[in-house]
Structure 1
Amino acid sequence: MRPLPNPERAWERAAPAETLARAGIDLARAEIDLVRAEVERRIGPFPGEMEVLSGGLANVNVRVGAGRVVRVYRRDPGAASKEASLLARGWRSFRVPAVLSAGEDFLVLEHVAHGPLQDTAACGAAAGRALAEIHGVGFDRAGFLGPDLAVTWPFDDCIGALRAHVDAVLDRLAPALRDALSEPVGAFLDASAGALRGLASAPVLLHGDFKASNLHWLASGELLVLDWEFAYAGPSLMDVGQILRWSPGPEFVAAFADAYRERAPLPEGFERWAAAFDLFNLVGLLDGVEPGSRRAVDVCGRILKTVERVEEEGASSGATRRTLRQ
């Protein structure tokens, strides 16, 4: 067995480490002191060591003792209450950590021992069941969610809002990335707008970051789903595109699709359309990155391959339909 493909694991800490090292700063000590201060401001002094599980501009997750994880929301403090509501929904087909306590910009969560999600049929089926249950929560309109999980900032035109986000990010990119991506991505989204709008017509609850970094496997054979801060109401294929982004094996994909379809529909050619919807996510991952960074190289390559592949598969599918009609 092998873990689900996930090049994103290599992105998170490389750039800060290089910057601090050049400045002659002990990265580990500097970060630990900073994070400990962040945590102690929320829960007070605590004895013993701590472990930084993950961290970035959006949030930091720190294990304190054997059984607690303190999750501090650096970018959007309001996401804490929204995530607490989602974790408390009583999901049936997968595990989430229990919320032990909460503050304005942090949660204290149960630590659940876990391993990486594997690229197997069993894990694919678990992911399919979980995502179908999440997508079973429907909305009258797409948009951002408030603490009570109601849409508080609706998108009048979901695809239009996503496209505006893509255009804004592309405009902010360094010239080399902008020149490489603006024309092919813009042309592809222009050509696909009608189909994407049709597939986005029934908004559902999106996890918003449904990928290998946030999906884990328990010794009990259950799926653990973490990091719900980006949840919103939108097209179901946005989440599907994330879990399929880095090309899991065919057994994983087939089991995922079969399990998902037991509770929710997937359109014909769902892999192609999920990849198309994931372009909105992928372009967002480039916001603020250095052009030569590993993240930039990986994401830019995936975007261009996705545009090429989806166009080729669409042309092939159209040719097949024309042949059958003849």
Structure 2
Amino acid sequence: MREGWQRGQQALAPGLDLVRDLVGRALPGARALAAAPVAGGLANTNLRVTLAGAADPVLLRIYQRDQAEAAKEAALHALVAGRVPVPRFLARPGLDDASGLHFAVLEWMPGDRMETVVPGLDPAAAAAVGRSAGAVLAAIHAVGFPAAGFLGPNLDIVHPVVGGRAGLEGFLRRCLVDGPGGARLGPAATDAALAFAAAEGDRLAAWETRACLVHGDFNGSNLLAAAGRVTAVLDWEFAFAGWPAFDFGNLLRPPAGDDASFVAGVEVGYRAAGGHLPADWRRLAAIADLYAWADFLARPDATPGLVRDAAAMIRRTIGSGG
């Protein structure tokens, strides 16, 4: 689905001299020989950097969307390390005064983006990757928080959020009525979405009994996989304290969510690792994903491909063709 989504802002293309300066600051004595862009991300710039005398490359991450997220991301990696496969920050995120860039250097992780792996697998292999993804997601959700909300750089709750019907209705209204999303979705579908939230939003409360760590972008572009298992969870900038349905909604978007073997594997892996799934978990995940689709529609820099897919997914979820 993400194939038609363009970046809101262009990826940066720093020259090798600048790459050498940034990597050298983070890793004294290291010398970059080459740098190549890494596919997958839509918000920041990621470069695969080859180092002189080193067997493995490193990842140079330049924060573009929200530089303040760098410290939060490093804190999250430290929090889940040993429980969730994440790359090590080889140096704390920093600011390069000369270029004005916020950046970090991370360990290079093995594997290929899961979104490129699963479509070519037979049902048994797709189920195996799904089981691994489910187990990893259960480990993430095992990290609890005292309340739901957005996280600061020290992982404290800096802005509480409301769940249930009130939360969904309020967010859809901000995006589709107060924001530009409704004009892109169309008046009939906007009215239908708001009516749907009023009628169905309370169902989310069944999965909102405990606030936990939510990755916020848990999908095939941010998961690496190899040999039938997830080898890395990347790009934690959207993580917050919330409820499991948000991550499941993201993970089960098409095409992965339409692969019955993969989805069955996710369910088995999540339950086996101690995760709780309500009886109607797939439907609840789709309802929770309305937050994301409405947010996409309301973004000032939303591209035509993103608008098309977001509108289609809202209509699919609420059962409206309007």
> Normalising by structure 2, what TM-score?
0.79
Q: Is the 8 A contact 1:138 1:203 kept in 2?
A: yes
Task: Give % identity.
Answer: 33
Give the whole-Å Cα distance in 2 for the aligned partners of 1:146 and 1:31.
26
Decide whether aligned partners of structure 1 residues 276 and 156 sit closer, same or farther in structure 2, where only a CA change above 3 A counts: closer
Q: Is the 8 A contact 1:289 1:295 kept in 2?
A: no
Give the whole-Å Cα distance in 2 for the aligned partners of 1:37 and 1:166.
46
CA RMSD of aligned residues (A): 3.0
Decide whether aligned partners of structure 1 residues 164 and 38 sit closer, same or farther in structure 2, where only a CA change above 3 A counts: farther
* 1:106-156 residue CA offsets vs partner (Å, 9 max, x unmatched): 221011232232430001100110011100011221001122322222225
Give the whole-Å Cα distance in 2 for the aligned partners of 1:304 and 1:274.
15
* 1:277 to 2:288 alignment: yes
Decide whether aligned partners of structure 1 residues 116 and 130 sit closer, same or farther in structure 2, where only a CA change above 3 A counts: same
Residue number in structure 2 paired with 1:11: 5
Could you tell which deviates more after superposition, 227-236 or 171-180?
171-180
Where structure 1 has 5 or more consecutive residues not aligned to the other structure, the ranges are: 1-6, 18-29, 310-326
Give the whole-Å Cα distance in 1 for the aligned partners of 2:271 and 2:58.
36
Q: Is the 8 A contact 2:138 2:270 kept in 1?
A: yes
Describe the SS at the equivalent of 2:238: coil
Residue number in structure 1 paired with 2:98: none
Describe the SS at the equivalent of 1:212: coil
Describe the SS at the equivalent of 2:221: helix
Residue number in structure 1 paired with 2:161: 155
Give the whole-Å Cα distance in 2 for the aligned partners of 1:93 and 1:251.
25
What is the 5 A alignment of 1:1-326? Answer: 7-13=1-7, 31-33=12-14, 39=19, 42-43=22-23, 47-54=32-39, 58-65=43-50, 67-92=57-82, 94-104=84-94, 105-117=102-114, 118-119=117-118, 120-155=126-161, 160-170=166-176, 171-173=179-181, 175-179=183-187, 181-219=189-227, 221-246=229-254, 247-262=257-272, 263-288=274-299, 293-308=304-319
Residue number in structure 2 paired with 1:313: none
Q: Is the 8 A contact 2:129 2:228 kept in 1?
A: no
Decide whether aligned partners of structure 1 residues 90 and 208 sit closer, same or farther in structure 2, where only a CA change above 3 A counts: closer
Describe the SS at the equivalent of 1:70: strand
* 1:86-125 residue CA offsets vs partner (Å, 9 max, x unmatched): 2123544642111111234322101123223243000110
Could you tell which deviates more after superposition, 265-274 or 285-294?
285-294
State the aligned residue count: 289
Describe the SS at the equivalent of 2:289: helix
Decide whether aligned partners of structure 1 residues 221 and 194 sit closer, same or farther in structure 2, where only a CA change above 3 A counts: closer
> Normalising by structure 1, what TM-score?
0.78
Query: Which structure has more helix as a fraction of its residues?
Result: 1
Describe the SS at the equivalent of 1:264: coil
Give the whole-Å Cα distance in 2 for the aligned partners of 1:163 and 1:44.
49
* 1:47-97 residue CA offsets vs partner (Å, 9 max, x unmatched): 433112158773221122151111122232221111112212354464211
Give the whole-Å Cα distance in 2 for the aligned partners of 1:89 and 1:290.
32
* AA matched with 2:263: V
Where structure 2 has 5 or more consecutive residues not aligned to the other structure, the ranges are: 26-30, 51-55, 95-101, 119-125
Decide whether aligned partners of structure 1 residues 92 and 274 sit closer, same or farther in structure 2, where only a CA change above 3 A counts: same
